[in-house]
């Protein structure tokens, strides 16, 4: 296993090398994170390298999304490179290999059109068994004979992925290559390229794949979205990194909630498992909820306000003070900030800022004692009126003091026949916070107005 102590004799340098051909995949973020954590723990350098040699598939917007993702996540890289800026370097190495007889140029029929000859550069394969000393997967031996003289460039100006990858890792001083296990099969040919170039070896650690709940590879089909979608959904970047770190790695303790500095301190490749880890959205939501709770009240206010629909601020009773009182209720009910929009859509917020609308029969508790059709409305109206009267002289400093003002009365009449109509009068919803919390948020004046409205509605 890769030791937690760097024994290479060199400063640790890691890299993350995405291709800008599509969205920044969440599995790629986990790979970038492990490289970042390992470099930072050892006081080393973390490099971001955009592997954009495939001009036909490259997209400028994909490069922008990669850079934006790193900015949002707070993963600061020390150096940034683009392979498209290094073509002359690759050409020099290709020419040297050909001059040394380790590679050769070959004119071959095109696969697309056999009548057309194209120039390819192939590495002379020594055809031997190559062993990858992998720090996660163990020793993996491959007989490279079947690879034949494989292609390392389409021409002297167009290196293949494997060739450019090896040249870059050497030139940039990479010491530890930490990448997904799907790249393990590429490593033997990259070792042959490295040996032909005369470069010293790298340390490899191929980390497990991020899997969907059905243990297939995580993809858009089974729930994966691009990284910036998580920002749009209202996940905190530190929570997302916390969650991703735990897919395939554990700290060896019971701790599950980590800040980024804590992850740097705790991380060790030695505790990375070889089997794939499951992407569990429920676990992500739990981790995010825990990070939301750690935010200051002011931070929560700003973030919730960003997701609260503009219509809320146009309601007649909306105010910053009322919103701050509602904030703990919202925080208690969301896993991500986009859930605020859902709460609004489901009618769970508007009644805090506007008089609710409901029909009078909704004020009756489902197990009410007031069953006489001739008198039940008068009875319940009297109960609601009594609650209002008691609350006129109540201590409004907390939910507990409001509760204590009417609790004995509720116990004597029947809690359901007192608390249900009170809650319905204040919210107009069958599901809402308890009536004492509602009363505290709304304040004494508005609470009494809504109770008196209910009292009159029952008699209408």
**Does the pLDDT value for residue 240 go beyond 80?**
yes
Give the tens place of pLDDT for each residue, 78-95.
999 999 999 999 999 999
- Buried b / exposed e over 274-287, threshold 16 CB at 10 Å, is eebbebeeeebbbb
d(CA 427, CA 356): 6
Look at residue 4 in the predicted model and tell me its pLDDT: 53
Sequence ranges of the domains in the chain: 220-293, 295-352, 360-457
Instruction: Report the pLDDT averaged over residues 275-286.
Output: 92
For 411-449, the pLDDT digits (tens) are 999 999 999 999 999 999 999 999 999 999 999 999 999
Three-point CA angle 376, 381, 383, nearest 5°: 100
Contact indicator for 179, 165 with CB cutoff of 8 Å: no
Q: What percent of the chain has pLDDT over 70?
A: 97
Q: Mean pLDDT across the stretch 269-293?
A: 94
Confidence (pLDDT) at 220 = 63
Q: Work out the average pLDDT over 28-33.
A: 96
Architecture per CATH, domain 360-457, reads as Orthogonal Bundle (1.10)
Is the overall model pTM greater than 0.75, yes or no? yes
Mean pLDDT of 376-383: 95
Give dist(CA 23, CA 258) in Å, integer.
27
Q: Note the pLDDT of residue 85.
A: 94
pLDDT of residue 433: 96
* CATH classification number, 220-293, choose in 1.10.10.10, 1.20.210.10, 3.40.50.620, 1.10.1160.10: 1.10.1160.10
**Which pLDDT band, with edges at 50, 70 and 90, does 6 fall under?**
low
More confident residue, 148 or 7: 148
Terminal Cα-to-Cα distance of the chain (whole angstroms): 78
Range scoring the smallest mean pLDDT among 5-19, 86-100, 287-301, 335-349: 5-19
Positive or negative, the CA dihedral 123, 128, 129, 134 is: negative
pLDDT tops 50 at residue 1: no
**Mean per-residue pLDDT of the chain:** 93
Look at residue 269 and tell me whether its pLDDT is greater than 90: yes
Output the pLDDT for position 222: 63
- The mean per-residue pLDDT over the stretch 228-243 comes to 96
In whole angstroms, what is the distance from residue 223 CA to residue 215 CA? 12
Higher pLDDT, 268 or 212: 268
pLDDT of residue 60: 86
pLDDT confidence band for 8 (50 / 70 / 90): low
Residue 27 phi, psi dihedral angles, 5° rounding: -65, -35
Q: Which residues contact 41 (CB under 8 A, 6 or more apart)?
A: 4, 264, 265, 267, 268
Q: For tokens 């969907």, name the residue.
A: 212
- DSSP H or E segment with residue 384: helix 376-392
Q: 45 has which bridge partners?
A: 13
Work out the average pLDDT over 370-383.
Answer: 89
- What is the C-alpha separation between 20 and 4, in angstroms, rounded? 32
Crossing angle between the packed helical segments 60-73 and 26-41, to the nearest 10 degrees? 50
Give 6-43 as a DSSP string: --SSS--EEEE---TTS--BHHHHHHHHHHHHHHHHTT
Residue 327: how many CA atoms within 13 Å on its side-chain side?
Answer: 21
């Amino acid at each position: 296993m890769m030791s937690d102590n760097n024994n290479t004799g060199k400063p640790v340098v890691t890299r993350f090398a995405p291709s800008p051909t599509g969205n920044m995949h969440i599995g790629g973020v986990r790979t970038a994170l492990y490289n970042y954590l390992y470099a930072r723990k050892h006081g080393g350098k973390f490099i971001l390298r955009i592997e954009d040699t495939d001009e036909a598939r490259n997209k400028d917007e994909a490069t922008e999304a990669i850079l934006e993702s790193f900015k949002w996540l707070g993963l600061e890289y020390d150096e940034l490179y683009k392979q498209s800026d290094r073509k002359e370097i690759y050409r020099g190495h290709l020419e040297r290999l050909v001059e040394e007889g380790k590679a050769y140029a070959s004119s071959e029929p095109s696969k697309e059109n056999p009548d057309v000859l194209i120039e390819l550069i192939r590495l002379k394969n020594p055809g031997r068994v190559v062993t990858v000393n992998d720090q996660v997967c163990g020793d993996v031996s491959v007989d490279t004979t079947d690879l034949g003289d494989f292609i390392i460039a389409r021409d002297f100006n167009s290196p293949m992925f494997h060739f450019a990858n090896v040249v870059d890792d050497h030139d940039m001083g990479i010491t530890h290559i930490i990448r997904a296990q799907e790249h393990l099969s590429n490593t033997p040919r990259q070792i042959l390229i490295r040996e032909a170039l005369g470069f010293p070896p790298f340390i490899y650690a191929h980390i497990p794949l991020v899997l969907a709940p059905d243990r297939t590879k995580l993809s858009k089909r089974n729930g994966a979205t691009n990284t910036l979608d998580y920002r749009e959904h209202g996940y905190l970047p530190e929570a997302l990194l916390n969650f991703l770190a735990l897919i395939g790695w554990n700290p060896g303790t019971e701790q599950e909630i980590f800040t980024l500095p804590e992850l740097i301190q705790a991380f060790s490749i030695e505790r990375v498992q070889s089997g794939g880890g499951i992407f569990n959205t429920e676990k992500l939501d739990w981790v995010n909820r825990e990070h939301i709770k750690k935010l200051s009240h002011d931070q929560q206010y700003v973030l919730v306000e960003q997701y609260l629909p503009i219509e809320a601020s146009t309601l007649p009773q909306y105010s910053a003070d009322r919103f701050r009182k509602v904030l703990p209720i919202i925080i208690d009910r969301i896993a991500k900030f986009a859930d605020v929009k859902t709460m609004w859509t489901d009618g769970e917020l508007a009644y805090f800022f506007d008089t609710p609308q409901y029909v009078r029969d909704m004020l009756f508790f489902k197990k009410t004692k007031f069953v006489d059709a001739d008198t039940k409305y008068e009875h319940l109206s009297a109960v609601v009126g009594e609650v209002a009267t008691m609350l006129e002289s109540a201590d409004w400093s907390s939910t507990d003091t409001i509760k204590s003002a009417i609790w004995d009365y509720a116990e004597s009449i029947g809690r359901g026949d007192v608390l249900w109509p009170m809650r319905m009068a204040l919210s107009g919803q069958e599901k809402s916070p308890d009536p004492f919390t509602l009363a505290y948020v709304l304040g004494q004046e508005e609470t009494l107005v809504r109770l008196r409205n209910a009292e009159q509605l029952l008699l209408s």
